[in-house]
Structures are given as structure tokens and as C-alpha cells.
Amino acid sequence: MGSNVSRPRIGITTYLEPAAWGIWRREAALVPRVYLDAVVAAGGVPLLLPPVGTDPSILGVLDGLIIAGGCDVDPGAYAAAPHPETVDTRPDRDHHEAILIRAALDRDLPLLAICRGLQMLNVTLGGTLHQHLPDVVAHDDHRPEPAVFGSVEAKVEPGTLTARILGEHVFGSCYHHQALDVVAPGLKVTARADDGTVEAAEVEGHDFALGVQWHPEENPEDLRLFTALIRSTS
């Protein structure tokens, strides 16, 4: 007989991309499978949230929310002119995720924002972004080559949720050329890389509203962030 204990339902934002399956070549809502596997391995059930028909009431059936990584955030979202290296923006997705972020915070729904997700969390709350990080840190280590993850080490602020989950130092896989610049009101930086890049931040006044700049889903041997998200739903 099956268990009567339901697993936490975790929404994951997706994006629209040209995709291929069988003989078909059409636009599809997708997210890398590693996000799904991480949620399942941590004890949750993943539910995909496409950037169409956005309705924040859907959060009423969720136990937690993940804002996934992806393309550049449109600088129009924080009233900035586009940098030449800011490409492939998706304003519709930005709008979709901003609505879900605000609704999740209003409901105090456990929230984990990953890479672009941290950037969207900051922008949604009134912050800005460095549009091309190499201009600031003078290296490409955060995105060394197309489709090649870099490695990042970050020092974590003691006494924070981030530190309780991960300890004082973090090693992660990264792939981004944008990062937090002006930090939004109410958002507390909890980890930085040696070059000063913001690597984690938490929304003050919430039990679990955490964003990280690296990609924890890329390391299936370390599910601490996903496990913490699942545990926060109980």
C-alpha cells in the first residue's frame, strides 16, 4: 500500500525555448532536468510553472517555490540602458517571475532563487544588476566559456540562514555574467566571492527566502539547499 504522507509540492519556473522531440521542432516550456532530480532527491514533488497565463493564486497549491536560472534579466526592469553584452532577454519571463516572487513573499512561501533567480529577487525588490561582471571584477571566471561552468568559493556570513545550511564556506558551480549591484532594501547579503561578487542573499523577515548566485542543482552529491527548502515547508 502507498503512503498517506504527501510530499511537498515545489513549483519551479520554466522558460520558453525552441525545442526538438521526435519529428517535432516547436517552442516548449522547459527547465533542465537537474532541477527536477534535485527536488525529488530532497523529498519533494516538482511542478513546472511556465511563463504564460501567470496567476499568483497557483502558489496556494504549492509548498515551496524555486526561481530557476536562465537568460539575462532585461535592464528595463531596473530602469537601466542595455549593456552591449546584455543579450537574449525575456521581459515576459521577468514579469512572470516578479509576480510569483512578490506573491511568494506575501504568503511567506519558502523560496529558493538560483543564479538568475537571485538577480530577479533583487530586481523585484528594487535593486539593480551589474550587466557584465567582467567589467567589474576584470576576469571571466564566473562564466569561463560558453556552456562551461566555472567554480566559485564564497565566504558566508555567520549567524545567517545560509550559514546554518552550508557552513562558513561554499564551493559551487557558476555560470553567469550578471550579478547584484545595488542591493534591494530588505535583502541581506549573506555570502560573497573573493572578488566581491554577491553569492547569496536573504529576504529579511522571512523564515526561508534565500537566493544563491551559483547552481546547486549541478551537484547531486550536495542537496543541502534543496533539503533545507523541503524541510522549511513542514
- Which CATH number goes with the domain that contains 122? 3.40.50.880
Contact predicate 229/12, CB 8 Å: no
Is 4 inside any structural domain? Answer: no
* Coil, strand or helix at 29: strand
What is the grid cell recorded at 213? 548566485
Task: Specify the pLDDT at position 1.
Answer: 40
User: What's the rounded Cα separation, in Å, for the pair 146 and 6?
Assistant: 40
Contact predicate 129/122, CB 8 Å: yes
153 is catalytic: no
What is the grid cell recorded at 115? 543564479
Task: Specify the pLDDT at position 2.
Answer: 47
Which one-letter DSSP state was computed for residue 143?
S
199 is catalytic: no
- Looking at 96, 130, 177, 215, which residue is catalytic? 215
Contact predicate 174/213, CB 8 Å: yes
- Looking at 97, 199, 202, 217, which residue is catalytic? 217
Is 3 inside any structural domain? Answer: no
Is 97 inside any structural domain? Answer: yes
- Looking at 115, 130, 176, 177, which residue is catalytic? 115
Place of cell 562564466: 143
Contact predicate 69/31, CB 8 Å: no
Is 41 inside any structural domain? Answer: yes
115 is catalytic: yes
Is 2 inside any structural domain? Answer: no
pLDDT per 10-residue tile (average), the chain, 234 residues: 73 96 95 98 97 95 97 96 95 97 98 98 98 96 95 97 97 96 98 97 97 97 97 94
Which one-letter DSSP state was computed for residue 145?
B
Residues 6+ apart with CB under 8 A from 130: 136, 178, 179, 180, 181
C-alpha pair distances (Å), 65 with each of 79, 108, 195, 210 = 27, 11, 30, 11
Domain that holds residue 88: 9-232
Task: Specify the pLDDT at position 53.
Answer: 93
Please tell me the total count of domains within the chain: 1
Is 1 inside any structural domain? Answer: no
Is 200 inside any structural domain? Answer: yes
Is 92 inside any structural domain? Answer: yes
